[in-house]
Amino acid sequence: QITLKESGPTLVKPTQTLTLTCTFSGFSLSTTGVSVGWIRQPPGKALEWLALIYWDDDKRYSPSLKSRLTITKDTSKNQVVLTMTNMDPVDTGTYYCAHIRLERFWIVDYFHPWGQGIVVTVSS
C-alpha cells in the first residue's frame, strides 16, 4: 500500500523560502519507472501542478514557477523535498504530493495516491 504525507511550516512570511517534505512508503524512488509530484490548490480554487521528479533524478517544473522551485529526493529516507523561494500571499493554499504512475518510464499516466495535503499560509 502506497502512502504519502506532506510536512513543513504552515505559516511563512512574504519573501521567505518554503521547504516542504513528502515522506512516502510502499515504493522506492530508486526503482525504475517511479515518480513523485507536487500540486497546490489555493483556497476555493483549482489544482495546479508544480513539479515532479523521476526515479533517475530527472526533474520537470511548471514554467510559470520554474525560477522559484527546486525538487529533490532522498532515496534513503523515502522523501521528496520541494523548495519555493520568495513566497508571496498568493502562494497561500494547500500543497499536495502524489505518487505518479508512469507509462513507458517517463509519460505521466495519472496521480495516485495523494497525500492529505498541508495548508500553507503566507502572511506577515
119 binds another protein (CB under 8 A): no
Site for another protein in 80-99 (CB under 8 A): 96
Site for another protein in 45-74 (CB under 8 A): 46-49, 52, 60-64
List the beta bridge partners of residue 48.
40
Find out whether 54 and 80 touch, Cβ atoms under 8 Å.
Answer: no
27 binds another protein (CB under 8 A): no
Q: What is the smallest separation between the CB atom of 112 and another protein, expressed in angstroms?
A: 4
Parallel, antiparallel, or unpaired: how do β-strands 11-12 and 118-122 relate?
A: parallel
List the beta bridge partners of residue 21.
7, 81
Amino acid occupying residue 36: V
The site for another protein (CB under 8 A) is made up of 37, 39, 46-49, 52, 60-64, 96, 101, 103-104, 107-117
